[in-house]
Structure 1
Amino acid sequence: MKKKSSKAVRYNKWGYIFLIPFILVYVVFQLIPLFNTIYNSFFENYLSGLTQIGPNFVGLENYKTLFTQGDIWIYAKNTMILWIMCFVPQIILSLLLGAWFSDVRLKLKGSRFFKTVIYLPNLIMASAFSMLFFTLFSDGGPINSILMQIGIISEPYKFLANTGSARGLIALMNCLMWFGNTTILLMAGMMGIDTSLFEAAEVDGATSTQVFYKITLPLLRPILVYVVITSLIGGLQLFDVPQILTNGTGDPMRSTMTLIMFLNKHLYSKNYGMAGAVSVILFIITAILSLIVFKVTGNDKRKA
C-alpha cells in the first residue's frame, strides 16, 4: 500500500508541474494588474498640462467624485441598454437555429456549410465591421440612397445622429458578430441531449413546441447560464464598436457612451486614479450581475 501511495504522489506532481505555466501567466497578467488597479484607485495621479500631479493618497475621493458627478450611472445605463438590445434577439435567433440544425427529424442537407457561414461574422474584426456599417449608414451611403430611390424617405436619414438608430446599429452589429458563436454553443448542448427522450416524446404525440419547452430548454439550462453570464460580461465590456462608430464621442448626447469608453477617456488623459476607480466599480457591477444571473437561472431544485 505504501508503494502504491508513494507512486501516486510521484505521478501527481506532474499535474502540478503542468499547472505552473498557467499559474504564472495568471499571476503576472491577471492577479498583479488587478491588485495594482485597486491600489491606484485610492491615489490622485494625473497630468495637468505637462505637470504630473501625484501619486497622492486620497482614499475614497475618486469613488465619491464618480458617484457625485452622476456620469457613471448614465454610462452604466447606456451599457445595459445596448447589451439587452443585442442579447435578446441574439439568444432567440441562436435558440431557433440551434433547435433547427440539431433536429434529426428534419434531415437538413448542407448543415455543415450553414454552420460555418453563421459563424463567419465572429471572425471579422470589430473595427472592420464598424467601418463597414459606418459607410453603409452614412448620410450619403448606399442605405440612404436605396431608401430614397424606393420613396420611403425624401432626404437622407441621419442614423448616427439619432439615439434610437445609433443604439440599434451598435446592437445589430454585436448581434451579427456573436450570434454564430452562441448558436454553436447551444447546438453543442442540444446535441448532447439523449435522443431517446425525443423519441419517447414523439411516440407520446408531443409537438415540436412542447418538446422544445419541456425537454430541450430544461436540459439546456447549464449551457444557457454559461451563455448569459459570458454575454453579460462581454456586454459590460462593450467598447470597440461604439468607439469606432462614434469616433469615441458616444454621440448623440452621450447615449452610446459605455463604461469602458468612459474608462478609456481617463486612461487617455493619464488620470490613473479615476481610471482605477472606474475599473473597480465595473468589476463589482460585473460580479454582482453575474451572481444574480447564476442564482436566478442556475438553481434547478426539483422534488422527486
Structure 2
Amino acid sequence: MRRKGVNYSKFGYIFTLPFVLAFLIFSLYPILYTAVIGFTNMQGLIPKPVHILDNPFQNFKDLLFDNVSFRKSLINTGLLWIVNFIPQIVLALLLTAWFTNKRLNIKGQGAFKVLLYMPNIITAGTIAVLFSSLFAYPMGPVNSIFEMLGWSDAPIFFLQDKTTARGIVAFIQFWMWYGNTMIVLVAGVMGINPALFESAAIDGANGFQTFFRITLPSLRTILLFTLITSMVGGLTMFDIPQLFLAGGPDDSTLTTSMFIYGQAFKGSYMYNRAAAASMIMFVIAAILSGLVFYLMRDRDAGRMKKAEKNYKKSAKAAAVREV
C-alpha cells in the first residue's frame, strides 16, 4: 500500500502570514493612504470634508516651486548625508582592511570592534545632550580647549553658525554609523573564499593589490546594501537634527523629515502638504536607489549573459541554414 506523502509547503505560507499581515497593515496601507492624502485638501485638527483638489498635483507644485523651506530641507538633507557618508565609508573600509589583514594579526580585535560600534547603540537624545555640552557657549569643553591652545581669543558660538552647525550634525551622524558600516563590511570580507587571498599571496600580490583587486570587487553586494541603507537613512534623517538643534540656526540643519513632521503636527496641521512631501521623498529615494543599482550592477555577468544570448541566436541561425 502506497503511503500518502506529507505536503509541507503550506507551513511556509503559514509562517510567512504574520509578516505579510504586518506589512499590509503597517507598511503598505500607510504608504497608499499617504499617497492619496497628498492629492487632497486634508488639514487641521477639526474633521472637515476631504476631497481631491481640482488640480490633484497642487500640493506637489506648491512644495517644489513655492515653498522655500522645503527646497532648503532637500538641500540640507543631501548635504548632510554626503558630508557624513563619504568619510564614513572611507574609514569603514580602512578599518575593515586593517581588521581582516592576516599579516597584521591584530590582537584584541573584538574589543576594538565593540568600542568602534558603541556610538551606534547610544540613544540620539543622549548624543544630542553630549554634543550640546561639548560645544556649549561660552564655557564648553571645545571652547576651553581652543582658548588653551591659542586657536581663538574669544569663545566661539559654534551652534549659531550655519557652517559649523551643519558640520557638527554631519560629524555626529558619521561618528554614530561608521562602526555599524565597518561591522557589515568585515562580515562581508569574512564571507569571501579564503582561497582567493591565498592565491593572491602565492602570486606575490601585496596588501594594496589584494584589497583593490579581490576584496573590493567581492564586496560589491555588501557595498550596494550599505549604500542603499545609508542613503535611505540619510534621506529620513530626523532624530539628531531635531534633538540637537531643532533645525537651526536659520533652518541650516532642517531636514525633509523634520519639515514633514512640522507640516503634519505643528501649526495648521497640513496633512496634505506633509503627505505630498513624503511622496516626493519616496520618489527621490526610489530613483536614487535605482540609479545605485544600475551603476553597481555586475557588468561582467551582463556581458556574459549578452554573449550567451548572441551565441544561442547564432546557433539557431546556423541550424536554420542547415535545414
Tell me whether the two structures share a fold, i.e. TM-score over 0.5.
yes
- How many residue pairs get aligned? The number is 296
- How far does residue 100 in structure 1 lie from its aligned partner after superposition? 0.9
| Equivalent residue number for residue 89 of structure 2 | 91
Counting only pairs closer than 5 Å after superposition, residues 152-167 of structure 1 correspond to structure 2 as 152-167=151-166
Q: 2:170 and 2:123 mapped to 1: Cα distance?
A: 16
What CA deviation, in whole Å up to 9, does each residue of 1:100-119 have, x standing for no partner?
Answer: 11112211111111111111
- How far does residue 190 in structure 1 lie from its aligned partner after superposition? 0.6
| Equivalent residue number for residue 248 of structure 2 | 251
SS in 1 for 2:251: coil
| Equivalent residue number for residue 57 of structure 1 | 52
- 2:54 is aligned with 1:35: no
SS in 1 for 2:103: coil
Aligned residue type for 2:184: L
1:128 to 126, 129, 142: 126
| Equivalent residue number for residue 228 of structure 1 | 227
Q: Check 1:3–1:296 CA distance in 2 against 1; reply closer, same or farther (3 A cut).
A: farther
State the TM-score, normalized to the length of structure 1.
0.92
SS in 2 for 1:216: helix
State the TM-score, normalized to the length of structure 2.
0.87
- 2:22 is aligned with 1:25: yes
What CA deviation, in whole Å up to 9, does each residue of 1:239-284 have, x standing for no partner?
Answer: 11111111x2x22332211100110111123211111101111111
Aligned residue type for 1:156: P
- 2:73 is aligned with 1:46: no
- 2:141 is aligned with 1:142: yes
- 2:105 is aligned with 1:110: no
- How far does residue 54 in structure 1 lie from its aligned partner after superposition? 4.5
Q: 2:3 and 2:271 mapped to 1: Cα distance?
A: 57
SS in 2 for 1:128: helix
| Equivalent residue number for residue 168 of structure 2 | 169
Check conservation: 1:225, 1:298, Cα contact below 8 A: no
User: Where in structure 1 are there 5+ consecutive unaligned residues?
Assistant: none
SS in 1 for 2:41: strand
User: Where in structure 2 are there 5+ consecutive unaligned residues?
Assistant: 305-323
Q: Check 1:164–1:3 CA distance in 2 against 1; reply closer, same or farther (3 A cut).
A: farther
Comparing 139-148 and 250-259, the one that deviates more: 250-259
Question: Structure 1 segments of 4 or more deviating over 4 A?
Answer: 50-54
Q: 2:112 and 2:181 mapped to 1: Cα distance?
A: 14
Q: 1:95 and 1:108 mapped to 2: Cα distance?
A: 16
| Equivalent residue number for residue 240 of structure 2 | 241
Aligned residue type for 1:110: G
- 2:263 is aligned with 1:266: yes
What CA deviation, in whole Å up to 9, does each residue of 1:1-55 have, x standing for no partner?
Answer: x977x63xx21000000011101111111011111111111111223xx865542
- 2:75 is aligned with 1:77: yes
- How far does residue 173 in structure 1 lie from its aligned partner after superposition? 0.6
**RMSD of aligned Cα (Å):** 1.7
Check conservation: 1:43, 1:54, Cα contact below 8 A: no
Aligned residue type for 1:221: R
Q: 2:126 and 2:49 mapped to 1: Cα distance?
A: 39
SS in 1 for 2:189: helix
Q: 1:64 and 1:3 mapped to 2: Cα distance?
A: 67
User: Identity percentage over the alignment?
Assistant: 41
1:68 to 56, 65, 69: 65
Q: 1:299 and 1:77 mapped to 2: Cα distance?
A: 31
Check conservation: 1:44, 1:53, Cα contact below 8 A: no
- How far does residue 192 in structure 1 lie from its aligned partner after superposition? 1.2
Which structure has the larger Rg over C-alpha atoms? 2
- How far does residue 167 in structure 1 lie from its aligned partner after superposition? 1.0
